[in-house]
Amino acid sequence: MRFALMIEPQMGLTYEEQLAVARHAEAAGFEAFFRSDHYESFPGDAGNPTTDAWTVIAGLARDVPRIHLGVLVSPITFRLPGHLAKVVLTADEMSGGRVEIGMGAGWHDDEHRRHGFPFPEIGERADMLEEALEIVHGLWEEPDGWSFIGDHWAIEDSLFRPKPGSLPGRDGGRPNIITGGQGSPRAYRIAARWADEFNLSSSSPEVASTKFGELDAAVRAAGRDPSTLTHSVMAGVLVGRDRDEIRRRERDLLAVFGGADEESETWMAARRPRWVYGTPDEAREVVKRFESAGVQRLMLQDFLARDLEMIDLAGEALIG
């Protein structure tokens, strides 16, 4: 099993706080650090400050020397595809070839409205995502002069420099491209055509096993070997050395989400079975269940990113 740490910095985290998290993740043995791409603070207080995802990744590329770095996911509504391709490659050059990119259709309508981003219906956003993926692939991989005409964007006589394969650390390759979601037929088809990795969110090991079976069938139907597509899951994480530490972290988590009450306990109870949750022994058992379900990389979604000791413990318990 490979492990990545994923955080939600829109919950008020500064650059320095994100840098501390990335450094602890690297020291703990995580292969990658991912962050979300949001411009509005949630859950909890909507008035917390936020940072731009790719600006932060570029900073981390210089400040953290070894760990892979990525965004999960960048909504295509935030950036034009050519702009995104250039931003990602710039950060990748700064990192020496350690950057990964998750691309998605976006979902937070209020966030779009408050920042002036377009937010068409989901069907159109999915169409935009497919076009954007084709454009990013084309700009990175096709020869000079490549053109593309879509319903949303057009590329004429492309001239993209540098090409990813020419960058230090790339050895002729390009950044890992991730798509995903909760598992729908269209998401599977998009991944089969354009992605290197499919990331399943909010799923227990049992659900993941079923979803990955569906994914593999869609990949085969597209004429591709499922073994060429990495199967990953993003799962919440809450671990402690004993019950008291777990309860303390649960209280901290519920405070972040708006406070503890009867409804919040119901919310927490619904997540324990599908999170990497509990003592080190309990957390390792959950990881084994995910591995048996076909998960190759587990992205631990950490809502308590300021609790650096929990990152250290997760690395110690799960990575060794």
Q: Which residues contact 182 (CB under 8 A, 6 or more apart)?
A: 200, 201, 202, 203
Q: Residue 181 — φ and ψ, nearest 5°?
A: 135, -155
Read off the pLDDT of each residue in 306-315 and give the average, rounded to a whole number: 98
Q: pLDDT tens-digit profile of 55-107?
A: 999 999 999 999 999 999 999 999 999 999 999 999 999 999 999 999 999 99
With a cut of 90, say whether residue 320 has pLDDT above it: no
Q: Are strands 154-155 and 148-149 parallel, antiparallel or unpaired?
A: antiparallel
Mean pLDDT for the chain overall: 96
The pLDDT tens digits of the residues spanning 23-49 come to 999 999 999 999 999 999 988 888 899
Tens-place pLDDT, residues 203-255: 999 999 999 999 999 999 999 999 999 999 999 999 999 999 999 999 999 98
From residue 259, how far is each of 44, 234, 253, 262, 263 by CA, in Å?
Answer: 9, 24, 8, 10, 10
pLDDT of residue 157: 98
Q: What is the mean pLDDT of residues 132-158?
A: 98
Range of the domain at 269: 2-319
- If you average pLDDT over residues 147-169, what whole number do you get? 96
CATH number, domain at 189? 3.20.20.30
Residue whose C-alpha is closest to residue 290's, from 225, 237, 248, 233: 233
Distance in angstroms (rounded) separating the CA atoms of residues 270 and 275: 9
Give the pLDDT confidence of 246-281 residue by residue, as tens digits.
999 999 999 888 776 667 788 888 899 999 999 999
DSSP E strands in the chain: the ranges are: 2-7, 32-35, 68-75, 99-104, 148-149, 154-155, 176-181, 197-201, 230-239, 276-278, 297-302
- Outline where 29-180 has alpha helix (H): 53-63, 81-95, 109-115, 122-141
What is the domain count for the chain? Answer: 1
What pLDDT was estimated at residue 262? 64
Residue 44 is predicted with a pLDDT of 80
314-to-37, 251, 306, 318 alpha-carbon distances in Å:
24, 18, 14, 6
